[in-house]
């Protein structure tokens, strides 16, 4: 007779009292008590008449004298879910680094009324590793679960995506009103940042005098270099280099589509490479360190302005809009 493989420790315990069989045919030998304590669903399930009762009429498979309960989850999902249910002394909380894993486990936790587990998974789902890659999918899940802080955090991370994002599977979970709110938020963030382009007073305030920005003015070695000068831009009443002006123009253009600190770091990286390829000794000599310091200032300003923009989310059943101010401590977008 076919005997499915057993799951790994601690789900292979010889004294377990029930077997859960995953959809891909793996047997998890588990203790009813742990699952019953974690979930009223399991408690009710295990309190049903035992399959060995002859009058139930159900033919239930037994293995080593234990009833086998088939479940719809695959072994990967079930393994994570059960580890969340078991005591910490028997197994640590498994890492959830991929959206798909976390999402499947979350759905299963909901199905089995594992409230505490659901909470723990939500926290695990909204970690930077997942948010950086799957912010829109996280937004969809958080919004659907009415998790306010996580919705804001995911919206903030979604500024790394283009204003009109590519299709993603969970878009079906998002209402048109919520999607409109997200797009509006994204566009407002993009517009808010343009004030930094209109005036460079924030740069002058930070550096205090032109001697601190000689690299922008094409005088990194004290004397002026031969690089062409800016057409419009001015800094401390001086003409910056043309490459710096072009870098700023291109960065503000990119920020309209992806209004976040991450965009700045990308543009800075590109510019450093480009300047190094040029033949100007003066401009390229110390470019990485001065540009990276400038990136930190620029990114800080972007974070400040973005954090003032509200996410206009409509709450179901309420008239009007609830504004979510996006001040969530750990929502780093750099």
Give me the least distance between CB of 261 and Zn ion, in Å please: 27
With the CA atoms of 278, 283, 289 and 292 taken in that order, what torsion angle do they form, in degrees rounded to the nearest 10?
-80
Give the residue carrying structure tokens 């390829």. Answer: 277
Interacting residues with Zn ion between 243 and 282 (CB under 5 A): 280, 282
Contact 334, 262 (CB under 8 A): yes
190/218 with CB nearer Zn ion: 218
Residues composing the chain: 334
Q: Could you tell me if 243 and 283 are in contact, meaning their C-beta atoms sit under 8 angstroms apart? A: yes
Residues in 183-222 at the binding interface with Zn ion, rule: CB under 5 A: 218
Closer Cβ to Zn ion, 179 or 212, answer by number: 212
Among 235, 283, 306, 309, binds Zn ion (CB under 5 A): 283
Task: Using the minimum distance from each CB to Zn ion, give the nearer residue, 15 or 223.
Answer: 223
Q: Which residues pair with 69 in a beta bridge?
A: 20
Q: Which CB atom, from 71 or from 225, has the smaller least distance to Zn ion?
A: 225
Residue 120 binds Zn ion (CB under 5 A): no
Phi, psi of 271 (to 5 degrees): -65, -40
Residue keyed to tokens 């800094």: 235
Query: Taking contact as CB under 5 A, which single stretch among the options 15-23, 43-51, 111-119, 223-231 is the one that binds Zn ion?
Result: 223-231
CA–CA gap between residue 308 and residue 189 (Å, rounded): 9
Phi, psi for 51 (deg, rounded to 5): -65, -20
Return the exposure string of 263-281: e unless at least 16 CB atoms fall within 10 Å of the residue's CB, then b.
Answer: bbbebbeebbeebeeeebe
Residues binding Zn ion: number (CB under 5 A)? 6
Nearer to Zn ion, 47 or 289 (CB): 289
How many angstroms separate the CA atoms of 306 and 186, rounded? 9
Nearer CB in complex with Zn ion: 205/226: 226
Closer residue to Zn ion (CB): 225 or 305: 225
> 1-17 in b/e burial notation, b at 16+ Cβ within 10 A?
eeebeebeebbeeeebe
Closest separation in Å from C-beta 276 to Zn ion: 12
CA distance linking residue 156 with residue 139, whole number of Å: 9
Shortest Cβ distance from residue 281 to Zn ion (Å)?
Answer: 8
Beta carbon of residue 288, minimum distance to Zn ion (angstroms, whole number):
15
The residue within the footprint of Zn ion, chosen from 120, 227, 254, 297 (CB under 5 A), is 227
Structure-block tokens of residue 51 = 């399959």
Shortest Cβ 211–Zn ion spacing (Å)? 17
**Interface residue with Zn ion, options 225, 242, 288, 297 (CB under 5 A):** 225
Containing 101, the helix (H) or strand (E) segment is helix 99-111
Smallest separation (angstroms) from Zn ion to the CB of 243: 8
Name the residue nearer to Zn ion (CB basis): 141 or 230.
Answer: 230
Residues at the interface with Zn ion (CB under 5 A): 218, 225, 227, 280, 282-283
């Amino acid at each position: 007779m076919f005997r499915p493989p057993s799951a790994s420790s601690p789900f292979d315990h010889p004294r377990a009292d029930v077997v859960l069989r995953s959809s891909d045919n793996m047997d998890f030998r588990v203790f009813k008590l742990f699952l019953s304590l974690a979930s009223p669903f399991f408690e009710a399930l295990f309190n049903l008449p035992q399959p060995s009762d002859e009058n139930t009429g159900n033919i239930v498979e037994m293995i080593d004298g234990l009833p086998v309960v088939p479940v719809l989850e695959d072994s990967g999902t079930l393994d994570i879910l059960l580890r969340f249910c078991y005591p910490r002394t028997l197994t640590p909380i498994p890492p959830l680094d991929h959206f798909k894993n976390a999402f499947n486990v979350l759905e299963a936790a909901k199905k089995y009324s594992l409230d505490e587990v659901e909470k723990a998974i939500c926290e695990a789902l909204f970690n930077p590793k997942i948010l950086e890659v799957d912010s829109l999918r996280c937004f969809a899940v958080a919004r659907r679960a009415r998790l306010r802080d996580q919705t804001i955090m995911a919206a903030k991370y979604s500024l790394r995506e283009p204003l009109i994002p590519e299709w993603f599977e969970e878009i079906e979970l998002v209402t048109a009103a919520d999607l409109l709110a997200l797009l509006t938020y994204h566009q407002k963030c993009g517009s808010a940042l343009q004030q930094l382009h209109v005036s460079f007073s924030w740069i002058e305030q930070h550096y205090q005098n032109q001697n601190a920005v000689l690299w922008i003015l094409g005088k990194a070695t004290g004397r002026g270099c031969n690089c062409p000068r800016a057409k419009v831009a001015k800094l401390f009443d001086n003409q910056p280099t043309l490459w710096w002006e072009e870098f700023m123009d291109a960065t503000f253009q990119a920020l309209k589509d992806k209004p976040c600190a991450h965009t700045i770091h990308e543009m800075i990286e590109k510019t450093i490479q480009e300047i190094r390829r040029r033949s100007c000794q003066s401009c390229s000599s110390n470019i990485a360190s001065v540009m990276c310091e400038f990136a930190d200032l620029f990114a800080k300003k972007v974070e400040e302005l973005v954090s003032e923009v509200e996410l206009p989310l409509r709450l179901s059943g309420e008239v009007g809009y609830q504004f979510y101010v996006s001040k969530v401590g750990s929502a780093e977008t750099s």
